């Protein structure tokens, strides 16, 4: 079976002929831009297709949403008329009815663009909003899709017709590039982790720790130290006691769980291709940091997470928590470097939970130079670390 679409257009008249299995339907317009203002006229051969199509549900879909149009609604989109030169009663689509329905869909699917916002106080981003494009339903183009879909009749399996919604992107008027001269123009990379199932004290420490780091601005050539920007980890700075790995035990200390924050930021820095100066794996595998081998432990005065901003612009570090997901985003100016991560891979996995892991990263710069780093991790069995419970639980 062959399908052909032939479009004839002029400033005064727009005619479309679709050959479907040897049959023809056509629609007329004063101009091409008049789609959606008058009825689509179908000949008697395709009247049967249209009559059959409206007996089945129609699914209008985008990448994120679906709208199911019931048969009762579809029948409102058709109307009977008598063809002048044949005297026969035919069906045609009333595009005004389709447009009315799509207006209601547009109210649910249209989103306005979000303008960028960046206010810097004392060298840190006090307020930040990354720009986001909006979307708007193209009613004219979607009506055209619906008309073509219904004119072909019901699907072979008698299931619902599926039609794609046409969405136009709307750009924000205010971008990061317009409101700062630091080069904080676009998203470089994002890291994420899941702390689902964490005790409430651990969850609190994650929120507090992420808030300490968010808004940090690192200048070109400067080094970021997690411990420096974290500051003191005490009750007075908002932290509560929770389990930490210390001296071969799991004991409650202020700030237990902060490593969720350092781990997530480490992943963002890896994705951004920034040079990692200091990173250390945990002593035992922790499920919150899956996949194993992609974590970074910190302990003030003992171990730190450090990386360098080797770009020519400032970078901004932002955190976001959605449910049990922690995200870190790094904004700056892209310089064309390409980042390839390989892993993490776990190996020598023991029955007692001990294992080793490795992940490598290759950064290719615009001058063609490659830099490869390998990060190895060795985890002991969790059974070797007795737990001292938190007396505040």
Considering only 248-252, 285-289, 324-328, which range has the smallest mean pLDDT? Answer: 248-252
Asked if 210 and 323 sit in the same domain, the reply is: yes
CB crowding 195-228: b at 16 or more within 10 Å, else e: beebeebbbbbbbbbbebbbbbbbebeeebbbbe
Boundary-marking domain end, from 116, 143, 170: 170
Tell the burial category of 51 from Cβ atoms under 10 Å away from its Cβ (0-12, 13-18, 19+): middle
Asked if 292 and 193 sit in the same domain, the reply is: yes
**Cα distance between residue 285 and residue 295, in whole Å:** 9
Boundary-marking domain end, from 151, 170, 189: 170
Considering only 144-153, 218-227, 309-318, which range has the smallest mean pLDDT? Answer: 144-153
**Span 80-106, average pLDDT:** 85
Whether the full predicted model's pTM is greater than 0.75, yes or no, is: no
Asked if 99 and 49 sit in the same domain, the reply is: yes
Are 154 and 56 in contact by the 8 Å Cβ rule? The answer is yes
pLDDT band at residue 92, thresholds of 50, 70 and 90?
confident
**pLDDT over 70 at 10, yes or no:** no
Strands (E), 172-295: 186-194, 216-218, 223-225, 241-246, 249-254, 276-278
- Predicted confidence at residue 78, as pLDDT, reads 85
pLDDT band at residue 44, thresholds of 50, 70 and 90?
low
Number of domains in the chain: 2
Q: What does DSSP say about strands 78-82 and 89-94: parallel, antiparallel, or unpaired?
A: antiparallel
- Evaluate whether residue 28 is within a structural domain: no
- Predicted confidence at residue 353, as pLDDT, reads 95
- Predicted confidence at residue 89, as pLDDT, reads 76
Angstrom CA distances, 171 to 62, 87, 117, 120, 319, stand at 19, 51, 15, 24, 24
pLDDT band at residue 55, thresholds of 50, 70 and 90?
confident
| Cα 348 to the center of its chain, rounded Å | 35
- Predicted confidence at residue 80, as pLDDT, reads 82
- Evaluate whether residue 374 is within a structural domain: no
- Evaluate whether residue 228 is within a structural domain: yes
**pLDDT over 60 at 19, yes or no:** no
> How wide is the angle at C-alpha 373 spanned by C-alphas 367 and 377, nearest 5°?
165
Boundary-marking domain end, from 122, 150, 170: 170
- Evaluate whether residue 356 is within a structural domain: no
Nearest to 77 by CA among 161, 150, 141, 163: 150
**pLDDT over 70 at 41, yes or no:** no
**Cα distance between residue 27 and residue 35, in whole Å:** 10
What percent of the chain stands above pLDDT 90? 63
**Cα distance between residue 88 and residue 108, in whole Å:** 40
- Evaluate whether residue 36 is within a structural domain: no
| Cα 45 to the center of its chain, rounded Å | 45
- Predicted confidence at residue 17, as pLDDT, reads 36
**pLDDT over 90 at 268, yes or no:** yes
Q: 235: Cβ–Cβ under 8 A, 6 or more apart, which residues?
A: 254
Asked if 141 and 186 sit in the same domain, the reply is: no
Q: Which pair of structure tokens corresponds to residue 122?
A: 């004392």
Structural domain range at position 119: 43-170
- Evaluate whether residue 64 is within a structural domain: yes
Considering only 9-18, 219-228, 324-333, 348-357, which range has the smallest mean pLDDT? Answer: 9-18
Asked if 210 and 142 sit in the same domain, the reply is: no
Considering Cα of 319, then 112, then 131, then 190, what sign does the dihedral take? positive
**Span 278-298, average pLDDT:** 97
Nearest to 78 by CA among 101, 108, 103, 59: 101
Asked if 164 and 190 sit in the same domain, the reply is: no
In the block, residue with structure tokens 């035990």: 249
- CATH (domain of 109): 3.10.20.800
**Cα distance between residue 181 and residue 183, in whole Å:** 6
Asked if 209 and 139 sit in the same domain, the reply is: no
**pLDDT over 90 at 28, yes or no:** no
**pLDDT over 90 at 93, yes or no:** no
């Amino acid at each position: 079976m062959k399908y052909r679409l032939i479009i004839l257009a002029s400033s005064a008249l727009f005619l479309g002929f679709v050959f479907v299995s040897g049959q023809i339907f056509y629609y007329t317009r004063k101009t091409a831009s008049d789609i959606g203002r008058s009825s689509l006229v179908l000949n008697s051969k395709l009247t049967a297709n249209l009559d059959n199509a409206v007996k089945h549900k129609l699914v209008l879909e985008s990448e994120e949403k679906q709208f199911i149009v019931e048969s009762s609604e579809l029948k409102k989109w058709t109307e009977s008329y008598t063809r002048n030169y044949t005297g026969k009663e035919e069906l045609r689509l009333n595009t005004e009815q389709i447009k009315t329905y799509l207006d209601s869909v547009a109210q649910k699917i249209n989103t306005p663009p979000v303008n960028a916002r960046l206010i810097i106080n004392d060298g840190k981003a006090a307020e930040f909003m990354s720009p986001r494009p909006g979307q708007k339903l193209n009613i004219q183009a979607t009506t055209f899709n619906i008309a073509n879909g219904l004119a072909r009749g019901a699907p072979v399996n008698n299931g619902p017709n599926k039609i794609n919604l046409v969405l136009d992107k709307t750009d924000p008027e205010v971008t990061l590039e317009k409101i700062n001269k630091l080069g904080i123009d676009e998203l470089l990379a994002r890291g994420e982790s899941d702390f689902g199932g964490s005790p409430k004290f651990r969850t609190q420490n994650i929120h507090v720790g992420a808030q300490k780091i968010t808004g940090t601005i690192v200048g070109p050539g400067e080094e970021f130290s997690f411990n420096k920007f974290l500051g003191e980890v005490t009750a007075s700075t908002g932290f509560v006691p929770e389990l930490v790995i210390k001296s071969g035990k799991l004991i409650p200390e202020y700030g237990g769980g902060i490593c969720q924050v350092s781990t997530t930021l480490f992943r963002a820095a890896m994705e951004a291709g920034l040079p990692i100066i200091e990173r250390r794996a945990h002593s035992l595998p922790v499920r919150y940091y899956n996949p194993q081998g992609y974590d970074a432990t910190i302990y003030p005065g003992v171990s730190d997470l450090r990386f360098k901003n080797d770009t020519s612009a400032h970078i901004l570090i932002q955190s976001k928590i959605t449910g049990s997901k922690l995200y870190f985003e790094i904004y700056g100016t892209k310089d064309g470097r390409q980042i390839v991560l390989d892993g993490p891979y776990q190996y020598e996995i023991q029955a007692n939970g001990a294992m080793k892991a490795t992940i490598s990263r290759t950064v290719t710069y615009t001058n063609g130079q490659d830099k490869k780093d390998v990060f190895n991790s060795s985890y002991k069995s969790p059974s070797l670390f007795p737990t001292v419970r938190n007396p505040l639980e």
